[in-house]
Structure 1
Amino acid sequence: MVPRGRRPVAPRIGHAVDTAVGWTRLSLRTAIYAGTSSTVGAITPGPHLSQWLFARWCRATLRQIGVTVDAEGLEPTREHAPCVLVANHLSALDIPVLGAVLEGDYRWVAKRELFRVPFVGWHLWSAGHIPVDRKAGRKAVGPLQDRIDRVLRDGASVLLFPEGTRSKDGALQKFKMGAFQAAVRAGVPLVPIVLDGTQAIVRKGAFTLDPSAPRRVTIRGLPPVPYDADLARRDPDAAARALREATYARFVEALDGLRGAEGAALRPYPPVAARAAE
């Protein structure tokens, strides 16, 4: 008989072996794709081939771990390009999930630490993605805005996580101003992308998949959030604040709908809460 509250040893060993094999396969695939991408980026004009390779890596990664993506409503991400894309951030898995389904020319805004990771960082630099130094605080705002402006002027969209970091429990966090200031400053549409389900598969701080979690992720693209162009000219900060509030309300409404209860967007996602209570 297995002691109450403890898992049998054999399944735990099996899970550890599966995890080790999975990480090895993922590391090799990442090295191959990212290495090829950075080489291609160095010898060919534009980031398009690097982006194509990144999408292939994302889809192969999701196949390896058995994740399916239910994506709807992503037409605005293409029809309104160049634009500022904003997505809620639940898990490290958000990156391959979004990369597998998004089309068109776009750049990520990612923490600078990722640009220093071998292979991964080489790809990020070669594909023209945008680093942000979160430790620099307000001093990073000006250079970041300039980089975003250049990308948008060149006709590519920019993708940001306005929460700034992953949610620890699946609840929607407050939005920072950067994405909304960027949209108002450039005069481009702001298009929301709502994610749900990744936090149950790979929790923040975890290095393994939860074997009990459903391997299905939901993505919903929403129409652009309008903002007052006259106010943007007169008082861009006020316009950005209004845009942030309107966008946050859209995310709350969409997540409440996906989770089937009013207020669910602002509460811990049920599977995460259940594990924390054990």
Structure 2
Amino acid sequence: MLILSYIFSVIYWLYFGFLLVVFHVIQIICQYIGGYELRKKSVDLLNFLLLYGLVIVGVRIKFVGFENLPQDCPLIITSNHQSTFDIPPIVWGFRKHHPKFVSKKELGKGIPSISYNLRHSGSALIDRKNPRQAMMEIARLGQHIEKENYSASIFPEGTRSKSGTLKKFQHAGIAALVKKAPSAKVVPLVIDGNSTLTKHGDFPLNFGTKLTFTALPAIDPQEKDVKKIASEVENLIKHNLNQA
């Protein structure tokens, strides 16, 4: 199986790099011709291809609960963080909700397609060494999703858990989003399998991994303590991952 992982990982990463370069150009053209809406369609397609292209390494993909997402309000997508492969299923699964990301500022430059999208989509690029700047960016994102009825994706662990074991959730980012997007609902998202996919690192990808992305019932955060909401979401995700 490890031999298959090496062979097909080479093919997938060539495919991955090709898509990023090609869609970088496509995004620029779409932005120029049709603005945000047309560029977003190109980003949705890119992430669909990145995600389902993982069949090259024998991956099986399942989405659960997305048919029950609220349709009439902004969403605060609150999920565990296992690898860089967490992003495509969020973009694709929540595509009707225009997901924006809370991301470290370093990702805002130097990466074809990804950096361009982060800079032009309204996502929050935060300096993790500057808490004030980070909170201001997250607050700006909260205002943006409230105004446009979009969604914001945040990883309260703060960094990836390579083992898949859930880390302690921090509540500050969720609180800033809730404050600036008072009509938003919090959607716990369970990412299961991406840590197994990358258990050897980014190369080779683990052949035959099963990936499951589960959107749990939305939580109305109004008149609730945000620390308790963060703890509730953490416990729900732990339970779903059988880590409780």
**TM-score range normalised by the length of the shorter chain:** 0.7 to 0.9
- Between the aligned residues of both structures, percent identity stands at 23
Correspondent of 2:191 among 191, 195, 212: 195
Whole-Å separation in 1 of the counterparts to 2:129 and 2:199: 23
Q: Unaligned 5+ residue runs, structure 2?
A: none
CA shift for structure 1 position 167: 0.5
What CA RMSD, in Å, does the superposition of the two structures yield over aligned residues? 2.6
CA shift for structure 1 position 46: 2.3
| Structure 2 counterparts to residues 134-149 of structure 1, below 5 A | 134-149=128-143
> Which has the larger Rg?
1
Whole-Å separation in 2 of the counterparts to 1:25 and 1:189: 36
Whole-Å separation in 2 of the counterparts to 1:43 and 1:22: 31
Q: Does 1:248 align with 2:234?
A: yes
Rate the CA distance shift 1:108–1:64 in 2: closer, same or farther, 3 A: farther
Amino acid in the other structure paired with 2:145: V
Q: Give the count of matched residue pairs.
A: 238
SS at match of 1:135: coil
- TM-score normalised per structure 2: 0.84
Q: Does 1:227 align with 2:217?
A: no
- TM-score normalised per structure 1: 0.75
Correspondent of 1:98 among 87, 90, 103: 90
CA shift for structure 1 position 60: 4.5
Correspondent of 2:156 among 159, 162, 168: 162
Asked if structure 1 preserves the Cα contact closer than 8 Å seen for 2:138 and 2:176, the reply is no
Rate the CA distance shift 1:98–1:180 in 2: closer, same or farther, 3 A: same
Whole-Å separation in 1 of the counterparts to 2:237 and 2:5: 35
SS at match of 1:33: helix
* More divergent stretch after superposition (190-199 vs 100-109): 100-109
CA shift for structure 1 position 217: 0.7
Whole-Å separation in 1 of the counterparts to 2:83 and 2:133: 27
CA shift for structure 1 position 171: 0.7
Rate the CA distance shift 1:80–1:32 in 2: closer, same or farther, 3 A: same
Rate the CA distance shift 1:81–1:129 in 2: closer, same or farther, 3 A: same
